[in-house]
Structure 1
Amino acid sequence: MQLTDNFGRSIDYIRISVTDRCNLRCVYCMPDTMKSGCYQDGKINTDSILTYEEIVRFVDVAATLGIKKIRLTGGEPLVRNSIDELVKGIKEIPGIEELSLTTNGQRLAGMTSALAQSGLDRVNISLDSLRADRYAEITKGGDFDKVMAGIRAAEAAELLPVKLNMVPMVGINDDEIEAFVRFGIQTGCQIRFIELMPTVVNEHLFNKGFIGTDEIKRRIEREFHITPLKLRKHGPARYFSVTDHAEHTNGIIGIISAVTCRFCSQCNRLRLTADGRLRPCLYSNIEVSLFDALRHNASKEELQGLILQAVDLKPERHHITDGTETDTPTASGAPFIMSGVGG
C-alpha cells in the first residue's frame, strides 16, 4: 500500500520521539529551566508517555499503510533505558526497511554494539562545534570527547553513513563551516548543515544569528568545489559532492534549508511525539492524538483511521517565514519547543 496525502506526496517516513528529556541544553533548542513532562522525580512517567510496546504496535500498524522508514529521536533518545529493545521490536516489523536514530552522542559510545545488534541501520549525531570549549558553551556542558568517541564507535559498529548535524549561527560557530567540510572529508562522515529554525526559545538568537543556505554555500565554495548530488528521492537535505582543491579528496555534505527554501513539496513524513500526538507537519498546530487509542488497545482499524486522519490533515506547506504558526504550533497552544515534538 502507498500512503499519499492530498497534495500527491507519498508518505513513507515517521520520526518518533521516545522522550522529551535531554541531557544537554543547546542554546537554540531547550531553555535552561525546561522540565520534561515525561518524567517525575527522575523516573519515567508512564501515565503520559508511550511505552515501547505501544510504539511498536503503532509502527506495526503504520507499516500496513506503507510506512517504510523510522527515525528515533527525542529529546535525547539514549537517555531512555533499554532503547535497544525498542530498536529490535521495530526492526522485526515486516515492511520497515530503514531504522535510524538521532542523538547528541553523549551516551553513544557505550551503546553502539547493542544498537547495531538489535538492527539499527545508522545514526545522525548533533555536533555544532569542533572546539571542545565552544561545544561545551553551545550545549551548556556537553562533553566533546564523548561525542568523538561516539562517532568512532558508530563507525566501528558500521552504523553507516554517520551523519553529523551542524547548525551554523552567526557569531557563535559560523567560522567553522569550512572546518566541518574538511572534517567530513577526512573522516568519511556526511556533514549536514541545518538552517537555524525559529522557536519561542531562540527568538533573539534567530534574529541575530540566522545564516541562510546561500551564505553557507558561499563560505564552502571559497575552499572547495561542490557538485549537486542526488542521493534520495525525498527528504529535506540537498546533497553535494565536495572536493578539496588542495588535497584532491572528496566528501559529501547536505544542506537543509528549512527557512529560506521550503522543501515542503517533497515532505514524506509524519512525527509522533513521546506523549502520543501524531503531527503531520513540524511547524503546524495540527495534531491527532493516538495516546488513548494505544493505551486502551484500540483495534488495528481504529489506529489506521487515526493515521489516515493525520495524513489527510497534512498542510501543503509550513508558514515559518509568514509568522503565522510559530507562536503556538501545538494543538494545546503550548509554546513550541523543538525537543517536545521530536525536532
Structure 2
Amino acid sequence: MVAVPLTLRTGRSLSAEDPTAPALGQPLVDRFGRVHRDLRISLTDRCSLRCTYCMPEQGNEWLARTSILSTDEIVRVAQVAAASGITTFRLTGGEPLLRADIVDVVRRLAALESPSGPVEVALTTNGIRLGEVLPDLVAAGLHRLNISIDTLDRDRFRELTRRDRLDDVRAGIAAAAASGLRPLKLNAVAMRGVNEDELVDLVAFALDHDAEMRFIEQMPLDAGHTWDRARMVTRDEILAALATRWSLEPIPGRGGAPAERFLLDGGPAAVGVIASVTAPFCGACDRLRLTADGQLRNCLFSNDEYDLLPLLRSEEPGSEPIAARLHACVAGKLPGHAIDDPSFLQPVRGMNAIGG
C-alpha cells in the first residue's frame, strides 16, 4: 500500500477582499434557501475493516500523511463553521477511532459554541475500539454515537468485512448501551443476497441494546466503482420486510435528518431508513463535509471540492478566507445528487476517503 496525494477538481474560491464574499459569521445558506447546520469531519481514510461495499481488501492508495489535517487545523475550520451557524459536528472516517488524538479532537470541538449555543459532537464508528476509549470520549463531551453493524452472523461478517471482528463490534455496542449516550443508533447497509434476511433480527438486536436501527440503501460510493443498483435493497423492500413483524407508523417532522423514521407498534421504539437512492432528501439537506485532507464537499456524491489546506497552512491564514471558502462551497451546491439521471458520475473518491 502506497501513500499518495489525491488531487481532485476544486471549486472557485472567494478571497477575504472580495466585496461579494459574505462576512465572517454569516449563516451558510445556499441558492435554494437551505441553511447548513451540520459539518461532517473525516479524521482519516484508513479503516480496521475492508467492507466489500466500501474498499478493496488490498491495494488501497491512502492519503499522504502530510496532507492529513492536524487537530489544530480541524479546530480552526470548526471555529469558523460554528460562528457561521454549524451546530453539529459528526466525526467520521474511514474509522475515526484509529486517530490517536480522537479524545482531544472531541474535547476541543465540544468546547465550541455557535450563535445558538453549544455545539453537539457526534461520532460514527465501526465500534471495534469503542469499549477501550468510550469513557474518555464521554468525559471529553461526546454527545451521540452511530455504530455500524451489517450482520449478526460471524461467517457472514467475516466475508463482508474481510476481518473476523464481530465480537469486538458487539462489545463496542454493549459498551455504548451501558454508557447512557442517547439516542444510540446502529447502522446497516441493506444488501441483496447478503443480509436482506436479517433485517428483522437486526432491529430486534438494536432494541435489546436500547438503540435505534437504521437501514441504509447501498449507494454508489465504493472505491472499486462496482456498485450495481440491482443488488440494492430498496426502501420499500426494507419496510415490507419489517412490516412482517411490526406495524410501522411514520414519524412526522423529519426536517433535514437523513433518516425517515417509523414507530414500531406505536412506539416509543423506532426504526429509520436512509433512502438516498430511491427517495432522496436533497431538498432539506443541511450538511457539508470536510475530508481528512482538508477538502470541503457540499454533497456526498459530488466531484467538486473546495481546498482549505493552502489556507490552513499559509503564513497568514486568518478566519476570513476560511469563511469565504465555506460560503463558496455552499453557493456551489446543486439542488440534488441526480443518482437516477443518466449523466450521473460516481464520485472519484470512495466512501472511506470522503467521510460519512
Whether TM exceeds 0.5 here: the answer is yes
Moved more, 196-205 or 91-100: 196-205
Per the TM alignment, residue 318 of structure 1 is displaced from its structure 2 partner at its CA by 0.2
- CA separation of 1:304/1:204 partners in 2, compared to 1, >3 Å: closer, same or farther? closer
Contact 2:47/2:98, CA 8 A, preserved across alignment: yes
Which residue does the alignment assign to 2:320? 301
Per the TM alignment, residue 233 of structure 1 is displaced from its structure 2 partner at its CA by 2.4
Contact 1:285/1:325, CA 8 A, preserved across alignment: no
Report the Cα distance in structure 2 between the residues aligned to 1:20 and 1:302, rounded to whole angstroms: 26
1:2 aligns with 2:20: no
1:27 aligns with 2:52: yes
Contact 1:198/1:326, CA 8 A, preserved across alignment: no
Report the Cα distance in structure 2 between the residues aligned to 1:249 and 1:130, rounded to whole angstroms: 24
Contact 2:128/2:165, CA 8 A, preserved across alignment: yes
1:289 aligns with 2:307: yes
Look up the SS of the partner of 1:123 in the other structure: strand
Match of 1:261 among 258, 279, 284: 279
Which residue does the alignment assign to 1:78? 97
Identity %: 41
Q: What code does the residue aligned with 1:288 have? A: Y
Per the TM alignment, residue 33 of structure 1 is displaced from its structure 2 partner at its CA by 2.0
Which residue does the alignment assign to 1:275? 293
Which residue does the alignment assign to 1:317? 336
Extract unaligned runs of 5+ from structure 2: 1-25
Moved more, 308-317 or 176-185: 176-185
1:5-154 aligned at under 5 Å gives the runs 5-38=30-63, 45=65, 47-95=66-114, 96-154=118-176
Report the Cα distance in structure 2 between the residues aligned to 1:282 and 1:145, rounded to whole angstroms: 31
Contact 1:24/1:142, CA 8 A, preserved across alignment: no
Deviations 1:84-109 (A, max 9, x none): 00000111112242110000011111
Contact 1:195/1:256, CA 8 A, preserved across alignment: yes
Per the TM alignment, residue 286 of structure 1 is displaced from its structure 2 partner at its CA by 1.5
Deviations 1:16-43 (A, max 9, x none): 001001111001001112435335xxxx
Q: What code does the residue aligned with 2:138 have? A: A
Contact 1:185/1:250, CA 8 A, preserved across alignment: no
Q: What code does the residue aligned with 2:56 have? A: P
Per the TM alignment, residue 76 of structure 1 is displaced from its structure 2 partner at its CA by 0.4
Extract unaligned runs of 5+ from structure 1: 40-44, 330-334
Report the Cα distance in structure 2 between the residues aligned to 1:206 and 1:139, rounded to whole angstroms: 18
Contact 1:283/1:325, CA 8 A, preserved across alignment: no
Of structures 1 and 2, the one with the larger relative CO (CA 8 A, separation 6+) is 2
Q: What code does the residue aligned with 1:10 have? A: V
Look up the SS of the partner of 2:269 in the other structure: strand
Q: CA RMSD in A?
A: 1.7
Moved more, 86-95 or 179-188: 179-188
Instruction: Tell me the number of residue pairs that the alignment of Structure 1 and Structure 2 aligns.
Output: 327
Q: What code does the residue aligned with 1:16 have? A: I
1:209-248 aligned at under 5 Å gives the runs 209-230=231-252, 232-243=254-265
Which residue does the alignment assign to 2:349? 336
Per the TM alignment, residue 205 of structure 1 is displaced from its structure 2 partner at its CA by 5.2
Contact 2:219/2:277, CA 8 A, preserved across alignment: yes
Per the TM alignment, residue 278 of structure 1 is displaced from its structure 2 partner at its CA by 0.1
Match of 1:190 among 194, 201, 212: 212
Q: TM-score if structure 1 supplies the norm length?
A: 0.91
Which residue does the alignment assign to 2:19? none
Which residue does the alignment assign to 2:15? none
Q: TM-score if structure 2 supplies the norm length?
A: 0.88
Which residue does the alignment assign to 2:9? none
Contact 1:20/1:36, CA 8 A, preserved across alignment: no
Per the TM alignment, residue 129 of structure 1 is displaced from its structure 2 partner at its CA by 0.3
